[in-house]
């Protein structure tokens, strides 16, 4: 049997006709080519070349082998072409979902880097409510979903993504806008725009006040963080929001204040647990995790 390296040597000698030419083609020493050829002929028990005037003339057996070797190289070229397609993402679509809080800023930043790695990759991005994630994954509508909360389901795994914190947002010309932080006791003095307390972030928000026995008046409720931010920017109140929605100064007209009380939460990537993630999904999760980890926490 010939090794791939021996096939390379044999092909190089067939193409160039000289030991020196084969050595140059393979970037090795000429004596190494000569030793390899002696070993190849000894292993095969065939004479493959006639040495005439410093050139190697192939025998009929060598010419027949050369046709087979070129077929091997064609398969190797096809393999390299396929691998290149995989890396570029040619004719491949990654379908992913995300809850709005992560999708607003973090997902686009991760995708921008993903497209640098796989420039031909096509993507379909779906904004999901938490209750939509199970059907999205189990029915094969998408491969992964970025989540602000984990659920219990035997068919889905939840992989930790990044830690986050809540913050307080106020209109940019509000009396509190000159502050850098605020306590729960101070927040109850102002009209509060909030997320439903039954939502993951809403529960954390409610606990801030409940731990201290504070009564808060939530004048306006909104489901999505971007809506909350717009309401605050319109001067309708202050709000508690997750740090990822307002990262990188993505929302205008508001000022971000740290909250004195602890508000940490964990985010996740949800995947169907009966299949391995694709190269593109793995890279997306890695890049998304990096983007989210780079958001400086309030106590950082």
Walking along the chain (300 residues) 10 residues at a time, the average pLDDT comes out as: 82 87 89 88 85 83 81 72 66 90 96 94 93 92 94 93 95 95 94 84 88 89 90 95 93 95 95 90 96 72
Exposure string over 83-105, b if 16+ CB within 10 A, otherwise e = eeeeeebeebebbbbbbbbbbbb
Whether 136 contacts 142, CB under 8 Å: yes
Q: Which pLDDT score, from 0 to 100, does residue 78 have?
A: 66
**Given this model, what pLDDT does residue 300 score?**
38
Let me know how many helices (H) and strands (E) the chain has, helices first: 11, 13
Q: What is the pLDDT of residue 242?
A: 94
pLDDT at 77: 67
CA–CA distances in Å: residue 180 to residues 98, 236, 250: 30, 20, 18
C-alpha 136/C-alpha 99 separation (Å) is 12
User: Is the pTM value of this prediction over 0.75?
Assistant: no
What's the token pair of residue 113? Answer: 């880097």
Is residue 247 within 8 A of residue 106, CB to CB? The reply is yes
Quick one: pLDDT at residue 76?
A: 72
Per-residue pLDDT at 75: 76
Residue whose C-alpha is closest to residue 144's, from 163, 159, 164, 165: 159
CA distance 131 to 85: 36
For residue 259, the SS3 value is strand
Domains delineated in the chain: 4-80 (1.10.10.10), 93-163+267-293 (3.40.190.10), 166-263 (3.40.190.10)
């Amino acid at each position: 049997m010939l090794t791939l390296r021996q096939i390379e040597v044999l092909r190089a000698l067939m193409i160039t006709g000289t030991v020196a030419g084969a050595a140059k083609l393979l970037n090795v020493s000429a004596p190494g080519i000569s030793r390899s050829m002696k070993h190849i002929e000894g292993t095969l028990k065939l004479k493959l070349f006639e040495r005439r005037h410093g050139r190697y003339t192939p025998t009929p057996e060598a010419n027949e082998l050369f046709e087979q070797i070129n077929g091997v190289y064609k398969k190797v070229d096809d393999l390299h072409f396929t691998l290149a397609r995989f890396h570029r993402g040619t004719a491949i679509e990654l379908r992913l979902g995300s809850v709005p809080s992560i999708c607003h800023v973090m997902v686009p930043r991760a995708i921008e880097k993903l497209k640098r790695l796989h420039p031909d990759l096509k993507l379909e991005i779906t904004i999901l409510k938490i209750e939509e994630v199970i059907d999205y994954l189990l029915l094969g509508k998408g491969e992964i979903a970025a989540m602000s909360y984990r659920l219990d389901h035997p068919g889905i795994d939840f992989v930790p993504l990044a830690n986050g914190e809540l913050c307080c947002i106020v209109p940019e010309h509000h009396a509190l806008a000159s502050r850098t932080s605020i306590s729960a006791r101070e927040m109850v003095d102002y009209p509060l725009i909030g997320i439903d307390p039954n939502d993951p972030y809403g529960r954390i928000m409610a606990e801030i006040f409940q731990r201290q026995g504070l009564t808060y008046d939530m004048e306006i409720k909104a489901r999505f963080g971007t809506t909350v931010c717009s309401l605050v920017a319109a001067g309708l109140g202050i709000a508690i929001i997750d740090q990822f929605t307002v990262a990188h100064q993505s929302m205008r007209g508001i000022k971000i204040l740290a909250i004195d009380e602890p508000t940490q939460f964990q985010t996740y990537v949800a995947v169907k647990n009966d299949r391995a993630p694709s190269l593109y999904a793995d890279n997306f999760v890695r890049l998304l995790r990096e983007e989210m980890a780079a958001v400086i926490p309030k106590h950082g």
